[in-house]
Amino acid sequence: MKLVNRHTSLGKTFFLVIIFFVGFLSSCEEPYTPSTSELEQEIVVEGYVEAGTGANPVVVIITKSIPFLSEVGPEKFSELFVKGASVSVFDGDKTVSLIPLCLNDLPEEIKKAVAEALNLDPDNLTADICIYADILNQITREEGRRYDLTVEVENKKLTATTTIPYHVPLDTFVWMDPPGDPNDTLARLTVSFQDAPGVTNYYRYFTAEVGSGLVAPFSSVVDDILFDGKKFEFPLQKAERRGGDFTPETFGLYKRGTTAVIKWCSIDKEHFDFWNTRDFAANSGGPFSTYTRISTNIKGGLGIWGGYAVSTDTIPVPVK
């Protein structure tokens, strides 16, 4: 068993997360059929404002919703991204307009670098992915601050508000042998932190190996209802990318000799509600699953505008 002191050494990265809202049309309960209005295309917003070590720039993605039973190829995928929108953020002191960026408008060498930062294959990139970003870092990002988002597009005005809560960081990391037969190549990570008492706290995390993109686990959020104000210790599983190759024997474990990256985030309730319902929908597939309406804080559309208070730790996984 080895104790690793907490340290933070991850630089800022540029990331992208694409929202797919999943609806399930049959269940073993009373059937639910979405109304005609629910099948119409709506504007979907996904945006984040982060503060802390390893925080990303402010990024907003604007797409259009599609019916659940749809085929999405590269050309159709590119059409989902909304261009020509006016996107701004008020940080309490000033309003900052975000700059639109599309991969196909960038020089080839920059396009390749951005694609790699987004954890995309630069040699097999056919979709023209577009985002809106605070590339000049004009927005003041700090814990306890409120942020108002405004999106104007196609004669519509969408608004949302979020906060960056006060951060509760992880404070210890302990590497242990996984349960079962002895294994010299894999390790299990146990972490702990001191939950702040008297307030409801919400958490989310991502993991990666150095050189690869951060990934959220299948169930990525938790609240402190069971450990309010307590010192809490738990195994922090390595997240696996959906659709990737993994086995039950290696699931959630870290390869010895590599370097793990842990991004631990404090979020507010609306941000928690979005990911809690989204994760439930994504993990509840099958012919007998229930229809899940994903929570949103976007007025006039769908999606999430969320704040993260983050700490990012880079931790060597010890060799036995």
Q: Are 176 and 188 in contact (CB under 8 A)?
A: yes
pLDDT at 179: 85
pLDDT at 225: 93
Tokens of 317: 């996984």
pLDDT at 142: 96
Show the 3-state SS of 98-147: CEEEEHHHCCHHHHHHHHHHCCCCHHHCCCCCEEEECCCCCCCCCCCCEE
The closest alpha carbon to 213, from 56, 25, 85, belongs to: 56
Show the 3-state SS of 154-197: CCEEEEEEEECCCCCCCCEEEEECCCCCCCCCEEEEEEEEECCC
User: In this structure, which amino acid lies at residue 61?
Assistant: I
pLDDT at 32: 46
Which backbone phi and psi does 42 adopt, to 5 degrees? -125, 160
d(CA 206, CA 238): 8
pLDDT at 117: 55
Q: Residue 152 has what DSSP assignment?
A: E
pLDDT at 120: 58
* Number of C-beta neighbours around residue 7 at 10 A: 10
**134 half-sphere exposure, CB direction, 13 A CA radius:** 22
pLDDT at 95: 98
pLDDT at 37: 45
Tokens of 286: 């099958």
Tokens of 213: 């993109």
The parent domain of residue 99 ranges over: 2-295+304-316
Report yes or no on whether pTM surpasses 0.95.
no
Low-confidence ranges of the chain (pLDDT < 50): 1-32, 36-38
- Using CA atoms, how far residue 207 sits from 210, 243, 279, in Å, is 10, 16, 16
Tell me how far apart the 2 most distant CA atoms of the chain are, in Å.
62
Cβ neighbors of 74 (< 8 A, separation 6 or more) are 126, 127
- Tally of domains in the chain: 1
The closest alpha carbon to 257, from 315, 213, 174, 189, belongs to: 315
Helix ranges (H only) for the chain are 36-39, 74-80, 108-117, 269-282
pLDDT at 19: 30
